Structure 1
Amino acid sequence: MFDINNKLKFIKENNLYREIRYLSMPQDKVTIIDGRRVLLMSSNNYLGLCNHHKVKQAAIDAIKEYGLGSGGSRLTTGSYDLHKKLEKKIAKFKGCEAALIFNTGYMANVGVISAICNEDYYIFSDELNHASIIDGCRLSKGKVIVYKHNDIKDLEDKVKAINPKKGIIVTDSVFSMDGDIANIPEIIRIGKENNLLTMVDEAHATGVIGNNGKGSSEYFSCDVDITVGTLSKAIGSEGGFVCGNKEIIDYLKNKARSFIFSTALSPAVINGAIASFDVLKNDNSLVRKLQSNVSYLCKGLRNIGFDINSESPIIPIIIGEEDKAVEFSNRLLEEGIYIPAIRYPTVKKGKARLRMTVMATHSYEDIDFVIQKINEIKKYIKL
């Protein structure tokens, strides 16, 4: 029998128990969590667009015109003219021929990998790839080869040792727990030299890196075969997407099960995402402010003794032990700052951390306050 009580006891005794915290204000720099007003330093709403007046108004307008729900899957009754409009905007923003919307970034990764790969494929996957990539690899039944994190030599050695007839290299662009950026140009080179497809998940790169927030293609001035992303982070809405050539997108419409068998996203969130891309197209000041805040926060953390340097808004403070990470997070919450403790199995055992993120809406004064409190608390935690 599945002994739930003992398993829960084990989770709690090892400081791995998780509780859901509830927000009662918009996802902005200041919010209310469980009745407490806090400075939010952990949101994926990097540009603050989910509370942007133009984005909210676009969602309201869509509800007035189309109603709330979509009413069906995309291949039956659920496709609206707004879906087509957003897909064209995404493709143009990413510099691809075509795009396809999924309900979440998770479903995009699962659907794309399992549709393209089968038992004949070798999938070369970074060891720190997101869970959605890992699950997509498993569902595909392809032969998964995990290479060391962001280690181009290890990837190339493993590709050459196998010399597959069919294969794909899959990686995050900006890694969700460490915030570092994959070496996309070298991955593309290895893919081309060995006749492998390349696929990059831009979930934490879209709206974040590159002069205009267009992601790794702009940051590195290069392109991969398949780009996956999300609308629920910097874009401030909900959903996922995949970009590529027209043949790949047409194939996925007919084969990606997570696309085919899901009710379509509602017109409201689709129109909100359209408005977000319009904001980015017309003004990159939010992207510039985000990137400035990243630099300012990293510099401040280095000044108080943390060896931190990041070009993305994901800035982890490695604590190590799970109990210390939880204590650090709780003390910050008492000071009015919310940064959750990230623990196993999200990260490796002994690598518990505070996963801090910064938004374009934070001021330098906000960041100074956070740095001050972290510096005070770390003296008690004894890192």
Structure 2
Amino acid sequence: MELLNRLEQQLDGLREKSLIRRRRNVETPCAPRVKVNGRELLAFCSNDYLGLAAHPRIAAAMHEGVELYGTGSGASHLISGHSRAHAQLEERLAEFVGPNLIDPRALYFCTGYMANLAVLTGLAVADKNTEIFSEALNHASLIDGGRLARTTLKVYPHADAAALDAMLEASTATNKIVVTDSVFSMDGDLAPLPALLALCERHGAWLVVDDAHGFGTLGRNGRGALEHFALKSPYLVYVGTLGKAAGVGGAFVAAHSTVIETLIQRARPYIFTTAAPPALAHALLTSLDIISGDEGHERRAHLNALVAQWQDGLRLKRWQRLPSSTAIQPVVIGENEETMKMAAALYEQGIWVGGIRPPTVPAGTARLRATLSASHTAQDVAQLINALNELERSCHGA
């Protein structure tokens, strides 16, 4: 029992710091209005940015995919698990993001976490004299990928191109990899990708861009951060997530064909795992049709209007709304206990907003993380805005 008692003591320590995380059982499809434990809630805590997670066309395509390919792939991609649906999806993804890459090719993964591990470990093992330069606010998957690469890992300050320039200048590595989120998941701001790419081209470094929160939402055609900034380079390695704006699941890496072939041959997270169900890939073909078509344009326009409504309507005096132009709209409260009390107060009003605490964010910056979706209405967003404004006034006598 000594081992269990030690774990219980550690859990007690998390409880004392208001750091215990809890799961809630959602009984309905992902949407702004969900049922949780029999209760109807207005949710602002999913990453379903375009509102495609329950889209009837995509659901029908998923059903069709099951009819065509069954429910599982049966093996890894390099054994017998690589289906026609996977191949078609990779071709479509390469075509979709290809205008911003040179000789593009794409590789589909089960999750974004796996894709990031594969890119960093795969590129590092290809050249032992590697240094990885990681953004300070990168997602955990990028941090873990850098650690698992078993090479020199350096962290540069958030959005600080000058600091990165100095670090690259001092590096003697033959294989330099700069890695950054495009949209930072807890702040909602954008990385200075044009400046970072210019540095990578000057210093001969790869620029790995994790566009988990930009794919589908950024750029005129939803191609993501590279389209948004009009970037194109053979130095780019692009990671896109397909379980957020795309509404299904999985992720992909797109880059020069030589990079992709290197990952197929060297990236352990790709080689040694069972391929995702082909039905998912089949459904994603329809998702890409929607993202790139007229409906995708309309959904992005509506989402941007909701972001503008949020920025205009929130009137905070003590709490801090971070300057985000994306669907991720955090409100920094500070202390863990107060943040979770505010999340609970909103929940009591029927509004579900996630409370984010360390270690996900730095100590003293606990926050409510509201995420907007094209499926929200202006009335939905107004309800959240009014609730937050009133909650701050009532709590602090403003």
- 1:42 correspondence with 2:10: no
Equivalent-residue separation in structure 2 for 1:53 and 1:266 (angstroms) = 19
2:107 is matched with 100
Question: Are residue 322 (structure 1) and residue 359 (structure 2) matched?
Answer: no
Within 5 A, what are the aligned runs for 1:234-245?
Answer: 234-245=245-256
Aligned to 2:178: 169
Partner of 1:125: 134
The alignment-based identity, stated in percent, is: 37
Moved more, 148-157 or 104-113: 148-157
- The SS at the match of 1:49 is coil
**1:12 aligns to 2:15 (yes or no):** yes
Unpaired runs of 5+ in structure 2?
A: none
Counterpart residue identity of residue 148, structure 1:
P
Mapped to 1, the partners of 2:241 and 2:258 lie a distance apart of 21
Shift of 1:245: 0.9
Spell out, residue by residue over 1:165-206, the C-alpha distance to the aligned partner (whole angstroms, 9 max, x if none). 321110000011001000111101100111111110010000
- Matched AA of 1:342: I
The within-5 A match list for 1:1-383 is 2=3, 3-95=6-98, 96=101, 97-118=104-125, 119-223=128-232, 224-283=235-294, 284-302=297-315, 306-382=320-396
- TM normalised by structure 1 equals 0.97
Please tell me whether the aligned partners of residues 71 and 277 of structure 2 are also in contact (alpha carbons under 8 angstroms). Answer: yes
SS of alignment partner, residue 374 of structure 1: helix
RMSD of aligned alpha carbons: 1.5
**How far, CA to CA, are the matches of 1:27 and 1:165 in structure 2?**
46
SS in structure 2 at match of 1:76: helix
User: How many residues are matched?
Assistant: 383
State the Cα distance separating 1:303 from its structure 2 match. Answer: 7.2
Alpha carbons of 1:57 and 1:13: their partners in 2 closer, same or farther (altered >3 Å)?
same
8 Å CA contact 2:216, 2:246 repeated in 1: yes
User: How far, CA to CA, are the matches of 2:64 and 2:387 in structure 1?
Assistant: 42
Cα deviation digits, residues 202-259 of structure 1 (max 9, x gap): 1000011112211111111003520011111000011011000111111111111111
- Contact 1:86/1:270 (8 A) holds in 2: yes
CA distance in structure 2 between the aligned counterparts of 1:231 and 1:24, rounded to whole angstroms = 22
The normalised TM-score by structure 2 is: 0.93
Partners in 2 of 1:342 and 1:365 — Cα distance? 25
Residue deviations 1:246-288 (CA, integer Å, cap 9, x gap): 1111111111111111111112211221111011122221111
Shift of 1:309: 3.2
CA distance in 2 between partners of 1:108 and 1:24 (Å): 29
Report the 3-state secondary structure (helix = DSSP H, G, I; strand = E; otherwise coil) of the residue aligned with 2:314: helix
Letter in 2 for 1:268: A
- Structure 1 residue 69: deviation in Å? 1.1
C-alpha distance in 2 between matches for 1:377 and 1:278? 41
Task: State the one-letter code of the partner of 1:105.
Answer: G
Amino acid at match of 2:282: N
For residues 171 and 314 of structure 2, the distance between their equivalents in structure 1, rounded to whole angstroms, comes to 43
SS of the counterpart of 1:180? coil
2: CA distance, partners of 1:148 / 1:303: 28
Distance in 1 of aligned mates of 2:385 and 2:360:
25
**Is the alpha carbon distance of 1:34 and 1:182 closer, same or farther for their aligned partners in structure 2, counting shifts above 3 Å?**
same
The answer to whether the Cα contact below 8 Å between 2:61 and 2:283 also exists between their aligned partners in 1 is yes
Q: Does the 8 Å contact 1:298/1:308 carry over to 2? A: no
Q: 2:218, 2:345 → 1: CA distance?
A: 32
Q: What SS does structure 1 have at the residue aligned with 2:77?
A: coil
Check conservation: 1:112, 1:252, Cα contact below 8 A.
yes
- In structure 1, give the amino acid aligned to 2:338: K
Mapped partners of 1:303, 1:374: distance in 2: 8
Retained in 1: the 8 A contact 2:187–2:322? no
Cα distance in 2 for residues equivalent to 1:354 and 1:307: 10
Gaps of 5+ in 1: none
Q: CA deviation at 1:308?
A: 4.2
CA distance in 2, matches of 1:63, 1:166: 43
Moved more, 34-43 or 157-166: 157-166
Query: In structure 1, what is the Cα distance between the partners aligned to 2:310 and 2:321?
Result: 12
Query: Displacement, 1:164?
Result: 3.3
Asked whether the equivalents of residues 328 and 381 of structure 1 are also in contact (C-alpha less than 8 Å), the reply is no
- Three-state SS of the structure 1 residue aligned to 2:80 is coil
State the shift of 1:304 in Å. 7.4
Shift of 1:376: 1.6
Report if aligned partners of 2:129, 2:173 keep a CA contact under 8 Å in 1: no
Cα offset, 1:380, TM superposition: 3.6
